[in-house]
Chains A and B, each alone.
Chain A
């Protein structure tokens, strides 16, 4: 347990070393990775509930917990699927499991930064919003940075290739979204068509 926490923190500070250990020294654990995801969701819920009134853009509306789950899980799943589909074709060495773990471990800074930040918002004035925003964005930048290095290490890519792969991943994410959108609209179109035929038959015959 303590080891897992230490390892997660190790990855945050020494990403290349950490991700290497995760992939090739078997130090990463799927359970730990999923716990990090749950903690991230918890962070978002915490942020939603505890953020000081001044910095709360939701005007105290009631919390929708299912939305928070979706908000975190959906991008992760989408990214993992898209990245796996691209890297298997581009001879990446990482397995699906490694991609998921790398993505999950990369979420750690979000937890580290945002929980204290949320508490701090209760003591800050609106003039200090700049600091809040800075730290907020810092956590995101750090996340992206870790994700980048994680993917690079796991697949043993060069930096330029990783940049290329990341761009491709984004494109394939868009394609996945697009195709699923088409699928759903087509499905509703087909049911509508069947219903129309039924209706026309009842009316004309």
Chain B
């Protein structure tokens, strides 16, 4: 017996070997296992690592080559629809799903998710939400179709119940139609069956279907109906005639095509929304796309990159207690959907990108289309499986519970009427070697913007920018004979602006950018900018003209600030409904202020600062009007307060504008302004609007400090530096101004101050009393000194790209620039020694070529 067993074993081994050789011969090169993978680690550990390396370097059996170019190879496994891309430069394979999913002990019963490419969340008409994945609902059932496309492949998944069922049998049918369409056409045997399955009711003269419990009975009946030639159209008519709701017959089947193709050094993944089908009664709420693309096991080395604020990285590893997933909507929250509670104060996601670095390779994703619908999600291993993931999901149908007043809670749920019909497109780039890190990703994105949107390299100026924002007029309660009214209080008149400029120039400050806030249309609570009314209190038209002339004569760039996306609440009166966006329950969309203590909407600030959201369809009209009026002043530059950093949809019943369309409209208007006015200053510019900007203020310098995030990285700055001048937060409004100044040095930004000419007492008792610390005389000397110090350090790197950023020690950061210039900043209150270089407390040092 024993001998036979050995022979059997040998035979099995032999067959396996042949199989292996054959499969590798078909699929391409076989890579040898990396033997020095684990170093001195334990035997056990070594095995795990070797297994992983073999997976990432060797193509899985069953994968077939679809497309190939000089940089990449695209493979698909037709059984599991797993797609892999090989970066030819390093040989690294990037799978849509982790190949070793079976060995994941943490996933337990959750392995379907590991094997799926799409997760669909749909809702029914009562607002109940269900999540399905395309492995269990499509791949396993064999409900998918693979079609070749140019340079790639298209997989069309049908999720859910595609086969016919009980809902295809009429529930109720009139006697006349029953006889004519079905009964008369059936043979004798079938007629018996029909009589058994349907019962005739005299009342109303209808046939009603009896309860059917077995699958066999359903198929039998369906066959009879088919033979009789009873069609879907007939069914629909019977349902309509007899008042059967469509929901009772709707089939939960979703068709989603997923295209992959190679475009030079990128792989592009696209979902054409026009080909996505779903039952009307079950709208797709959102879809996770390639959740496990490049997912990394927690024992691997590397990190996830997320564009939270300036950017942040999450090191691979297991999650810890209290950690949550990172989840953030691209371009911030949509204020057309009422958020009744806001618990976190967080940074905005301004760039629709994310990345993952594994060992010596990195994968970088850019959402090209559908970016405004996207949310970026990242999670550490250990929650439901052993993989670190970062991916995007897309909101298609927005829904919201509609509260009808009164004490009775009513369950009406409203849905977005019209959804986005363009494409969802994600472009993956693969980096290796020295580029395989977030710096490489930033440079990749920079090049991408340069190539695609013609972002231009900056010409070096003689000094770094000094951006000063002045507040023009604010609302203040005034009284006439003891009768109160809201009047305007001038904080900095046009003439006083000239004075500030003169003082700055006198102190030797160059490259001044003057951002004028609250300079027209009732000041800070600016009315709709379809015309420009200069405040008389600030000096009127003649005063403004003098300011413009002075600025132009002395080389100061003037950026008068305009707000487009929101409208003052007391502004529109009768025409309100023409101009403002609506929420899902048809209320006026409003931007709220939240109370940090109660999380709720702040009623006091609601009265004071809340503004209506402009309907996106009106934006082009408003912008055109503004440009027309603005051109008269011949300024050639303008600052956009909210265009390009906020996106709000409009759920108006007749005129729904989805978020992506709203965003595209905004981008188009930024372009329009760029072409007709000239230089643009953006407030927190987001992705596609950045190439139009010449200057960015309030560039995020921090991440949101979620506990899952390990480190802040200056990704945003790396993308901009050398191309667009930027500044962070106003230094004088920071809680620690010295720190803010050091941060400006660290992040290579210019100096930014927010000033007013009046004494602090001018804002006392107004709604703007938080501006108490911005009197310009108090800050002048320090600002000039800071400017000179910063200019000394940053003057020479203005037009150089940032090539690296690293933490040297606690509170000590080094930023590298092209041409081996680096700047080390010490935030500590004690001097430090870094590699023999001593840096004074709260100071910085510039080094050329390591000196």
Contact = CB atoms under 8 A, between A and B. Distances in A.
Interface of A: 45, 61-66, 68, 192-193, 195-196, 199-200, 202-204
A181 to B, nearest CB: 19
A61 B484 CA distance: 11
B483 A192 contact: no
B813 to A, nearest CB: 46
Contacts of B481: 65
- Point out which of B406, B481, B482, B484 has the most chain A C-beta atoms below 10 A from its C-beta: B482
A195 B405 CA distance: 8
A193 B477 contact: no
Interface string B138-163: 00000000000000000000000000
Contacts of B22: none
Given A200-B412, A203-B412, A203-B414, A64 B482 contact: yes
Interface string B456-483: 0000000000000000000001110111
B482 A45 contact: yes
A158 B405 CA distance: 54
Contacts of B281: none
Contacts of B478: 62
Interface in B372-414: 402, 404-406, 410, 412, 414
Contact of A64 (B412, B414, B484): B484
Contacts of A196: 404-406
B765 interface: yes
A40 to B, nearest CB: 16
Nearest to A197: B404
B405 A64 contact: no
Given A65-B482, A199-B586, 15 more contacts: A62-B484, A63-B479, A64-B479, A65-B479, A66-B482, A66-B483, A66-B484, A192-B406, A193-B405, A196-B406, A199-B402, A199-B404, A200-B410, A203-B412, A203-B414
Nearest to B484: A64
- Point out which of B405, B412, B414, B478 has the most chain A C-beta atoms below 10 A from its C-beta: B405
Contacts of A65: 479, 481-483
Nearest to B482: A65
Interface in B549-586: 585-586
14 contacts: A61-B765, A62-B477, A62-B765, A63-B479, A64-B483, A65-B483, A196-B405, A199-B586, A200-B404, A200-B410, A200-B412, A203-B402, A203-B412, A204-B412
B482 A68 contact: yes
A187 to B, nearest CB: 14
Interface in B634-685: none
A61 B405 CA distance: 38
B777 to A, nearest CB: 24
Contacts of B765: 61-62
B402 A62 contact: no
A66 B765 CA distance: 19
Contacts of A192: 405-406
A200 B405 CA distance: 10
A203 B405 CA distance: 14
- Point out which of B404, B412, B477, B586 has the most chain A C-beta atoms below 10 A from its C-beta: B404
Nearest to A203: B412
Contacts of B410: 200
A63 B414 contact: no
Given A200-B410, A203-B412, A62 B405 contact: no
Contacts of B414: 203
A48 to B, nearest CB: 9
Nearest to B413: A203
Contacts of A199: 402, 404, 585-586
Nearest to B406: A196
Contacts of B406: 192-193, 196
Interface in B482-501: 482-484
Contact of B482 (A63, A193, A200, A202): A63
Contacts of A63: 479, 482
- Point out which of A61, A68, A199 has the most chain B C-beta atoms below 10 A from its C-beta: A199
B716 to A, nearest CB: 43
A202 to B, nearest CB: 8
Contacts of B402: 199, 203
A64 B477 CA distance: 10
A204 B404 CA distance: 12
Nearest to A191: B405
A65 B585 CA distance: 41
A45 B483 CA distance: 12
Contacts of A62: 477-479, 484, 765
A63 B478 CA distance: 9
A61 B479 CA distance: 10
A64 B414 CA distance: 45
- Point out which of A45, A193, A196 has the most chain B C-beta atoms below 10 A from its C-beta: A196
Contacts of A193: 405-406
A68 B402 CA distance: 43
Contacts of B404: 196, 199-200
- Point out which of B414, B478, B765 has the most chain A C-beta atoms below 10 A from its C-beta: B765
A115 B404 CA distance: 55
A193 B406 CA distance: 7
Contacts of A195: 405
A195 B402 CA distance: 14
A202 B484 CA distance: 41
- Point out which of A63, A68, A203 has the most chain B C-beta atoms below 10 A from its C-beta: A203
A68 B479 CA distance: 14
Contacts of A68: 482
A204 B402 CA distance: 12
A65 to B, nearest CB: 3
B257 to A, nearest CB: 34
B717 to A, nearest CB: 45
Contacts of A202: 586
Contacts of B585: 199
A203 B403 CA distance: 11
Contacts of B479: 62-65
B759 to A, nearest CB: 16
